[in-house]
Amino acid sequence: MPFDWAFLAAALNACNMRWAGDYHRVDTVALAWPLLVAGAVPSVKLATLSDFFGITAPTHDALADVRACRGVYPELMRLWRREAEAVAVVEQRSGQTIGRRRPGISG
């Protein structure tokens, strides 16, 4: 991400803009890490995640990488949203707060 961020920061500076999220940056590697830990994917590389979600894999071309990332990101967010919804249902039914688990990890 630092490599990619340098390009984005330079483009923003060239346009006299700044990142609106202050220090928060979204990273597909961090979002996909639970899938790796659970053994659902062998790596968190963009090509691996693209294959896992049935998205056209990047071809080591910047535009292809952006398109793949644009497809992978919503899929990862769907996993996180489903996990959060499941936790909320269990909490509501049990009346207890339970620990948050990461998507793709069972047990």
Grouping H, G, I as helix, E, B as strand and the rest as coil, residue 39 is coil
Rounded (to 5) percent helix, strand, coil in the chain:
60, 0, 40
Regarding predicted confidence, which is higher, 7 or 81? Answer: 81
The pLDDT tens digits of the residues spanning 52-94 come to 999 988 887 888 988 999 999 999 999 888 877 777 777 777 7
Cα distance between residue 25 and residue 48, in whole Å: 21
Domain boundaries in the chain?
27-94
Task: Give this prediction's pTM.
Answer: 0.67
